[in-house]
Chains A and B, each alone.
Chain A
Amino acid sequence: MTERSSDAPSGSVLKRFHHGDLEAFEAVFRQHQRAVYGWILRIVRDRAAAEDLTVESFLRMHRACARFDPERAFEPWARRVATRIALDWLRARPPECELDDEYAATLRAAPSADPGVAAEIRLKTAQAFARLPPRLRIAATLSLIEEQPHKDIAAALGISVTAAKLRVFRAVRMLRKDLERQGITP
């Protein structure tokens, strides 16, 4: 992953960032805050939390700038840091916080893209999903909901592609069992 996109910070900016230069850090931040925020939002699905975690991610990147290799692309590294922080946030949050009453009411009221899927089934699916262990939930969110490639998920989680696929597989299996317990046969 040594390629850089055309709008990525130049090598000299990344080198200065690596040496702790604040201006270079700002340039890197401005370039990547949207991508990092978007990635975190996909995982945590909470806009306010995604903003806080984006700030936290960049602070951690700034602290760890000496460990960043300026010869490599910034984005995969940033995603790894952001994913770790988002995972910590998911772990610190009890599953019952995932779906508040407001969300449940919204889900009941919202029309489904597939009229065959009742609001109650969608709610039970969301509840079952919230009960997944965070490390499986994160893989399932990125793969099944956000349809990210396994390669990107594996890179963000710092695991092999096979391990990422295995996590998605285990998440699907746990979800199926949970839904079956609730009387829903997927």
Chain B
Amino acid sequence: MTAHEKNRIDEKRIKELLQQALPPVGSVAEPARDLWPVVLRRLDSAPAGALRAKLPWFDWALIAGVVIFAVAFPATIPVFLYYL
């Protein structure tokens, strides 16, 4: 059996197991209520710009750390990308 055939069988079997464990939601789902009033309320309550996603300071520190690390050790970039 080739690796490709083995992968296909693996995928088929895993798919069967997953569908047993987590049945598909399908396309018939509908929200339980009208969501437009919620959207309107959120639009009214948020002043312009306040809705913009804000990053906490530690996220900025983490980003800065990663950039500094990547500049200092460029060989690690492919490893990072692989695990992203």
Contact = CB atoms under 8 A, between A and B. Distances in A.
A153 to B, nearest CB: 14
Contact of A140 (B18, B24, B84): B18
B56 interface: no
A173 B8 CA distance: 11
Given A33-B31, A34-B30, A51-B33, A107 B21 contact: yes
Given A63-B51, A122-B20, A42 B25 contact: yes
Enumerate the 9 nearest inter-chain pairs by beta-carbon distance, A residue then B residue, closest first.
Answer: A122-B21, A125-B21, A126-B21, A186-B13, A144-B15, A38-B29, A125-B17, A117-B20, A41-B29
A17 interface: no
Interface of B: 7, 10-11, 13-33, 35-36, 38-39, 42-43, 46, 51-52, 84
Majority-rule SS of A interface residues:
helix
Nearest to A38: B29
Given A114-B20, A121-B20, A186-B13, 14 more contacts: A29-B39, A34-B30, A37-B29, A37-B30, A37-B31, A55-B42, A59-B43, A112-B20, A113-B20, A117-B16, A122-B20, A125-B17, A129-B22, A176-B10
B42 to A, nearest CB: 6
Contacts of A59: 39, 42-43, 46, 51
Interface residues of A, number: 46
Nearest to A126: B21
Contacts of B16: 114, 117
B56 to A, nearest CB: 13
B53 to A, nearest CB: 9
A179 B21 CA distance: 13
Given A30-B36, A34-B30, A59-B39, A146 B24 contact: yes
Contacts of B42: 55, 59
A26 interface: yes
Interface in A118-175: 121-123, 125-126, 129, 135, 140-141, 144-147, 168-169, 172-173, 175
Contact of A117 (B15, B17, B27): B17
Contact of B31 (A54, A125, A146, A179): A54
A55 B39 contact: yes
A47 interface: yes
Contacts of B33: 51
A145 B19 CA distance: 6
A114 B10 CA distance: 18
A22 B40 CA distance: 10
